[in-house]
Amino acid sequence: MRSVGIKVLKNKLSEYVRLAEAGETVLITDRDRVVAELSPPRQERRALLDDPALAKMVQKGILTPALRPFSGPPPRGKPVITLRGLLALLDEDRTGRGIGP
Protein backbone atom coordinates (compact mmCIF):
# COMPACT_ATOMS: atom_id res chain seq x y z
CA MET A 1 0.00 0.00 0.00
CA ARG A 2 1.37 3.37 -0.98
CA SER A 3 0.63 6.81 0.34
CA VAL A 4 0.82 10.09 -1.54
CA GLY A 5 0.29 13.74 -0.64
CA ILE A 6 -2.43 15.70 -2.37
CA LYS A 7 0.03 17.94 -4.23
CA VAL A 8 1.97 14.98 -5.68
CA LEU A 9 -1.29 13.15 -6.45
CA LYS A 10 -2.53 16.17 -8.39
CA ASN A 11 0.63 16.21 -10.51
CA LYS A 12 0.75 12.44 -11.09
CA LEU A 13 -2.91 11.44 -10.95
CA SER A 14 -2.77 9.16 -13.99
CA GLU A 15 0.06 7.15 -12.45
CA TYR A 16 -1.85 6.56 -9.21
CA VAL A 17 -5.07 5.73 -11.03
CA ARG A 18 -3.15 3.06 -12.99
CA LEU A 19 -1.88 1.63 -9.69
CA ALA A 20 -5.44 1.44 -8.37
CA GLU A 21 -6.60 -0.15 -11.61
CA ALA A 22 -3.88 -2.78 -11.14
CA GLY A 23 -5.32 -3.62 -7.71
CA GLU A 24 -3.27 -1.46 -5.35
CA THR A 25 -4.79 0.82 -2.73
CA VAL A 26 -3.22 4.27 -2.46
CA LEU A 27 -3.64 6.30 0.72
CA ILE A 28 -4.05 10.02 0.07
CA THR A 29 -2.61 12.29 2.75
CA ASP A 30 -2.92 15.96 3.63
CA ARG A 31 -0.23 17.24 6.01
CA ASP A 32 0.76 13.65 6.88
CA ARG A 33 -2.82 12.69 7.79
CA VAL A 34 -4.71 10.10 5.72
CA VAL A 35 -7.82 11.76 4.27
CA ALA A 36 -8.89 9.33 1.52
CA GLU A 37 -8.16 6.07 -0.26
CA LEU A 38 -7.88 5.40 -3.97
CA SER A 39 -8.59 1.76 -4.64
CA PRO A 40 -9.91 -0.49 -7.40
CA PRO A 41 -13.70 -0.86 -7.52
CA ARG A 42 -15.19 -3.77 -5.60
CA GLN A 43 -16.15 -6.70 -7.81
CA GLU A 44 -19.90 -6.03 -7.59
CA ARG A 45 -19.40 -2.39 -8.66
CA ARG A 46 -17.03 -3.39 -11.46
CA ALA A 47 -19.73 -5.59 -13.01
CA LEU A 48 -22.15 -2.66 -12.96
CA LEU A 49 -19.69 -0.23 -14.50
CA ASP A 50 -18.67 -2.69 -17.25
CA ASP A 51 -22.15 -2.27 -18.75
CA PRO A 52 -21.91 0.87 -20.94
CA ALA A 53 -25.54 1.90 -20.46
CA LEU A 54 -25.36 1.59 -16.67
CA ALA A 55 -21.96 3.30 -16.56
CA LYS A 56 -23.40 6.24 -18.48
CA MET A 57 -26.30 6.55 -16.03
CA VAL A 58 -23.83 6.52 -13.11
CA GLN A 59 -21.77 9.20 -14.83
CA LYS A 60 -24.84 11.40 -15.34
CA GLY A 61 -25.92 10.94 -11.72
CA ILE A 62 -29.13 9.14 -12.67
CA LEU A 63 -28.04 5.91 -10.99
CA THR A 64 -26.00 5.32 -7.85
CA PRO A 65 -24.31 1.93 -7.46
CA ALA A 66 -25.45 -0.07 -4.45
CA LEU A 67 -23.16 -0.23 -1.45
CA ARG A 68 -23.90 -3.93 -0.98
CA PRO A 69 -24.79 -6.64 -3.48
CA PHE A 70 -28.50 -7.50 -3.77
CA SER A 71 -29.31 -10.49 -1.60
CA GLY A 72 -32.96 -10.89 -2.53
CA PRO A 73 -36.15 -9.58 -0.94
CA PRO A 74 -36.42 -9.51 2.86
CA PRO A 75 -37.84 -12.65 4.45
CA ARG A 76 -41.62 -12.74 4.64
CA GLY A 77 -43.29 -12.87 8.00
CA LYS A 78 -46.85 -13.48 9.04
CA PRO A 79 -49.16 -10.80 7.58
CA VAL A 80 -50.22 -8.13 10.06
CA ILE A 81 -53.72 -7.91 8.58
CA THR A 82 -55.66 -9.66 5.85
CA LEU A 83 -56.85 -7.82 2.76
CA ARG A 84 -60.47 -8.33 3.87
CA GLY A 85 -59.64 -6.81 7.27
CA LEU A 86 -57.86 -3.85 5.68
CA LEU A 87 -60.80 -3.14 3.35
CA ALA A 88 -63.20 -3.32 6.30
CA LEU A 89 -61.11 -0.77 8.21
CA LEU A 90 -61.06 1.54 5.18
CA ASP A 91 -64.85 1.29 4.81
CA GLU A 92 -65.28 2.00 8.53
CA ASP A 93 -63.01 5.04 8.30
CA ARG A 94 -64.78 6.41 5.24
CA THR A 95 -68.20 5.91 6.81
CA GLY A 96 -67.06 7.69 9.98
CA ARG A 97 -66.05 10.73 7.91
CA GLY A 98 -69.21 10.72 5.78
CA ILE A 99 -67.42 9.45 2.67
CA GLY A 100 -68.73 6.62 0.56
CA PRO A 101 -71.92 4.52 0.76
pLDDT tens, 15-52? Answer: 999 999 898 999 999 999 999 999 887 766 666 667 78
- CB neighbours of 66 closer than 8 A, spacing ≥ 6? 44
Query: Count H helices, E strands: the chain?
Result: 5, 3
Q: Which of 67, 61, 10, 15 is nearest to 41 (CA)?
A: 67
Q: Pick the residue with more confidence: 58 or 30?
A: 30
Considering the domain boundaries, does residue 91 fall inside one? no
**Sheet strand arrangement including 26-30:** 2-5, 26-30, 33-38
pLDDT at 65 over 80: no
- pLDDT given for residue 19 in this prediction: 94
Considering the domain boundaries, does residue 35 fall inside one? yes
Of the listed ranges 7-21, 36-50, 85-99, the least confidently predicted one is: 36-50
Measured CA to CA, the distance from residue 18 to residue 59 in angstroms comes to: 20
- Mean pLDDT across 67-84: 82
pTM of this structure: 0.47
Considering the domain boundaries, does residue 101 fall inside one? no
**CATH classification of the domain holding 46:** 3.40.1620.10
84 band by pLDDT with thresholds 50, 70 and 90: very high
C-beta of residue 44 within 8 angstroms of C-beta of residue 24: no
